[in-house]
A and B are shown apart, each in its own frame.
Chain A
Amino acid sequence: MSIPKASSEMRDKLRKLLRNWDWLNSNLASIQANYGVKWIAIAEAKVVVAAQTVEEVKKQLEGKYPRPETLLVSVPEGEVSKSI
């Protein structure tokens, strides 16, 4: 039986990414209240950059937070719809 696994480095990156997503999912209402219609970056389970455009956010992130596990989010305004 052979079960290939992700490397520990990859797992670490993906776990950080999912942790950031989990924080976004749990704190959406307050994020919307503070950053509605802005672009934000979420790293280490907190908002680390907020700006009007994604280009500004990317510029401010440079050299501070690694990109793949840092979420770039266009914060929606108003209640998020339900799919079903």
Chain B
Amino acid sequence: MTTNGFPFRSLRDWISFLDRQGDIVHNKEEVDIWGEVAAISSKIAQVDGPAVIYENIKGFPGWKLHSDGLTAHRRVAQALGLTAGETPARIREVLIEKLTKKPVKPRKVETGPCKEVKLFGNEVDLLDIPTAFSGEFELTPHLTAGVSFIQDPDTGWINSGIRRFQIINKDKLLELILPTQHEGLIFSKFKQKGQPMPIAIAIGVDPVASICSMFPAPTGFDEMDYWGMITGELLEVVKCETNEILVPATSEIVIEGEVDPDEVALEGPFPEFNGYYSGFRMCPLIRVKAITMRNNAISQFMFMATIPSEGQNLSQLFNEVEIYRQLTEIVPGVKNMAVLSIARFVIAVSLDKTARKRMPGLEKRVAMALKAISPTVKVLIILDDDVDPHNPYEILWALGVRFQPSKNIMVIDETPGHLLDPSSTLIGPGYSYTGLGSYGVMDCTEKLEPYDEGYRRGVALPPKEAIRKVEENWTKYGFKRG
């Protein structure tokens, strides 16, 4: 069963749908950008609340600001055309089926709603856009919900992702570009050539475009190709005014600019996804060349610091989809998988026990493959297929009874990690970020012969017939169906 109105072709279509569902609040009470909006988003995530449109932002008369459209899983399901009650596991299943299809390129159109207003040169002023602060010690505001687009100068590969941009002037931004990420690979090519890198930041895109940009796509894969795979239709894109980059035609706001190959300035602190502030870094400077908008554009904010939050919820779910898809393609015997923490730091994978018997060393094969697919994974917990990797209680049970620290833990030091992991050695030679960390694999599977004396009789349960009978007769015993 699909959601009425799917696929939503603009943020406004999505908001209209949420209005019909009664799952969005139009807040007319005055709010400020100095932390109030972020605190509301944090609370919405904690209580699984509705999306919001702020219609009375102090200091920004006439503006509207949207947040939390995809904070709740029910809204993610609906954005993908599924019913609100679908579980994250079901969302993953449906997405994996869609993502095995052939990539679908967006369709370029001549113009679109995002061209209704065009501002160039001195008309450009980022301070006119309501941009909310996420944390108390953030020095200047960051754009947090924009999908940024860049293009590989050699291959034409278009990379996109939701990234944060620090506003430091009416027409200047700073961007944290990490060398290990796709954006870093592409930017390094421009740096080598000594050329500025064209960039476009689309704020207020439709929900599927937001979702597509969250997938950890393989190198060389255009994230917006997922849009057609998910919806079965074509995403319409338009060319920017000052560069060749294509952006969703219905975007509310498009900021066009160039990343300077050499000039840097002081970026941070920013309330990071890991729940801590980033430190200061010297980050590349973006010169904004143009801003195009819809009439009465709606700006957007995404809170991503701490758990839960819109950014965290989206990232965790879609990382799981793509990593599971890739892992099951290259390693046999993988039954289930769960991303258990932010930034894929902790992942649990369950393996088919017969496959483990048939292929000695399968656990290590999974460990190596996972690290290759997702370099930021720091802890892998390997489970048997009778343990649900999404269930922390079952994981802890397996850790207690199927794991010996002296024998079943493998640690590899100095592995690539996440450049924003506050527990890693952050600073390396030349005050560059090393991103080096370590990788620990905890094998919490039943031991195989000849060390399986404790497991030969299986998990201690009543007979299957008795369990089935109890299920059938549960209410007859006087219990309520739970």
User: Interface of A with B (CB < 8 Å)?
Assistant: 1-7, 9-11, 13-15, 17-18, 21-22, 24-25, 28, 54, 68, 71-74, 76, 78-84
Contact = CB atoms under 8 A, between A and B. Distances in A.
Contact of B127 (A15, A25, A71, A79): A15
Given A80-B431, A81-B432, A83-B267, A6 B282 contact: no
Nearest to A81: B431
27 contacts: A1-B295, A2-B117, A4-B60, A5-B128, A6-B60, A7-B60, A7-B61, A9-B59, A10-B127, A17-B139, A18-B140, A18-B169, A21-B139, A24-B139, A68-B34, A71-B139, A73-B139, A76-B279, A76-B280, A78-B431, A79-B431, A80-B279, A80-B282, A80-B431, A81-B282, A83-B178, A84-B184
A73 B140 CA distance: 12
Q: How would you classify the secondary structure of chain A's contact residues: helix, strand, loop or mixed?
A: mixed
Interface in B264-313: 264-267, 269, 279-284, 293, 295-297
B458 to A, nearest CB: 53
A3 B119 contact: yes
Contacts of B176: 83
A80 to B, nearest CB: 5
A39 to B, nearest CB: 9
B342 to A, nearest CB: 20
B177 A72 contact: no
Given A6-B60, A18-B140, A22-B168, A82 B282 contact: yes
A71 B34 CA distance: 12
Interface string B336-370: 00000000000000000000000000000000000
A83 B267 CA distance: 9
- Which interface class (under 10, 10 to 19, 20 to 34, 35 or more) fits B? 35 or more
A84 B59 contact: no
Contacts of B332: none
B427 interface: yes
B399 to A, nearest CB: 36
A15 B139 CA distance: 13
B43 interface: no
Contacts of B269: 74
A35 to B, nearest CB: 13
Nearest to A3: B117
B433 A4 contact: no
B463 interface: no
A84 B60 contact: no
Given A5-B61, A84-B191, 15 more contacts: A1-B116, A3-B119, A4-B61, A4-B128, A6-B127, A10-B59, A11-B127, A71-B139, A76-B279, A80-B280, A80-B281, A81-B282, A81-B426, A82-B432, A83-B267
